[in-house]
Amino acid sequence: MSMTVTQIHDHFVGEISGLDLRDPVSSEDATRLNQALDRYGVLVFRGQHITDEQQLAFTQNFGKIELAVGGNVTKESERRLDIKLADVSNLDQNGKVMAKDDRRRMFNLGNRLWHSDSSYRAVPAKCSLLSCRSKPSKGGNTEFAFMPAAHDALDDETKAEIEDLVAVHSLIYSRGQLGFGDFTAEEKKTFAPVRQALVRANDFTGRKSIFLSAHIGTIVGWEMPEARDFIRELIEHATQPEFVHAHEWQVGDLVVWDNRQCMHRVRPFKDTDEPRDMRRTTVGGTEQTAEQAADQAA
């Protein structure tokens, strides 16, 4: 079997065939997969019924796994999955659908906002791999927006204006948009804001992306309302239908996306009625995109 990539959207998204993710990937194919991620932003694999261990092994073809800590309000004792897997399901530690008023559910509703994974970390994530183990009967698509195409479509004046801007990201800002604000002192410390360049270039393709995320709360040197209004406009521009692909999940799908050049969000579904078991592995980035302020080091 040899690996092939078929582009399934005008701007991005490669569907990969000819690979069985239960088996090790050759180093040639691993290189091709990383280049495809740079080029297509999102890679779709269908019919891959993998275990957690197989997902972890496959993930390492893209780099070093980022641990699922510091990114949610789930307590250690409430963890359903291994620390290397981010639990983006609607299930509790006993495999039961979370209650409507569960604090973890309230927090996880933030995934319905356009975002880039771990943009709230000083070194933001490279890519995410999401595996569908069970799905609801209706809804729950994941949508992706391709930031190089969105950057290309900006007018020259806006391109120049955003080129050197630095945005401030935190989970406190994204959750704040939904009115979730009752963070403990410890959570506030864990979720302390970080700085990210607003424009990033891909090393392989050279294409520039607008590095947008719901986690953005302000821009360095700007007044907050002005920054939020500006970011809201950019997100509206970047998520126009022509830049967006919706993935309709089937059990056994694995989708990999490049957080450096895509945003994503989950669409609504009846999450208090039906299980949706989605397991994510995340590959850490290799560098900061902006210098961090000294007062955030503490």
What residues make contact with ligand OGA under the rule CB under 6 A?
88, 111, 117, 128, 130, 142, 264, 266, 278, 280
# residues contacting Mn ion (CB under 5 A): 1
- With CB under 5 to 8 Å by kind, the binding choice for 98 among ligand OGA, Mn ion, none is none
> How far, in Å, CA of 23 to CA of 5, rounded?
18
Q: Write down the least CB distance from residue 289 to ligand OGA, Å.
A: 19
Q: Which spans in the chain are helix H?
A: 27-40, 52-59, 103-108, 147-152, 156-162, 171-177, 185-190, 224-238
Q: Write down the least CB distance from residue 88 to Mn ion, Å.
A: 7
Find where tokens 């392989």 sit: 204
Tell me whether residue 246 or residue 293 sits nearer to ligand OGA (CB atom).
246
**Token pair of 214, please?**
């719901």
φ/ψ (deg, to 5) at 225: -60, -40
The footprint of Mn ion on residues 183-242 (CB under 5 A) is: none
- With CB under 5 to 8 Å by kind, the binding choice for 200 among ligand OGA, Mn ion, none is none
Tell me whether residue 118 or residue 154 sits nearer to ligand OGA (CB atom).
118
Q: Write down the least CB distance from residue 117 to ligand OGA, Å.
A: 5
**Token pair of 256, please?**
């990999």
- With CB under 5 to 8 Å by kind, the binding choice for 130 among Mn ion, ligand OGA, none is ligand OGA
| Nearest CA among 97, 127, 142 for reference residue 257 | 127
Tell me whether residue 8 or residue 113 sits nearer to Mn ion (CB atom).
113
Find how far residue 204's CA is from the centre of its chain: 20
Q: Which residues contact 148 (CB under 8 A, 6 or more apart)?
A: 11, 12, 41, 202, 205, 207, 208, 209, 261
Tell me whether residue 202 or residue 213 sits nearer to ligand OGA (CB atom).
213
The identity of residue 109, as a single letter, is: L
Q: Which residues contact 234 (CB under 8 A, 6 or more apart)?
A: 162, 210, 212
The identity of residue 21, as a single letter, is: L
Tell me whether residue 200 or residue 264 sits nearer to ligand OGA (CB atom).
264
> How far, in Å, CA of 13 to CA of 146, rounded?
9
Contact 163, 170 (CB under 8 A): no
The footprint of Mn ion on residues 79-118 (CB under 5 A) is: 117
Q: Write down the least CB distance from residue 152 to ligand OGA, Å.
A: 25
Tell me whether residue 169 or residue 280 sits nearer to ligand OGA (CB atom).
280
Q: Write down the least CB distance from residue 233 to ligand OGA, Å.
A: 23
- With CB under 5 to 8 Å by kind, the binding choice for 258 among Mn ion, ligand OGA, none is none
Tell me whether residue 150 or residue 256 sits nearer to ligand OGA (CB atom).
256
> How far, in Å, CA of 261 to CA of 148, rounded?
7
> How far, in Å, CA of 131 to CA of 118, rounded?
18
Tell me whether residue 66 or residue 117 sits nearer to Mn ion (CB atom).
117
- With CB under 5 to 8 Å by kind, the binding choice for 283 among Mn ion, ligand OGA, none is none
- With CB under 5 to 8 Å by kind, the binding choice for 48 among ligand OGA, Mn ion, none is none
> How far, in Å, CA of 289 to CA of 168, rounded?
11
Q: Write down the least CB distance from residue 197 to ligand OGA, Å.
A: 21
Q: Write down the least CB distance from residue 279 to ligand OGA, Å.
A: 9
Which residues contribute to the site for Mn ion (CB under 5 A)?
117
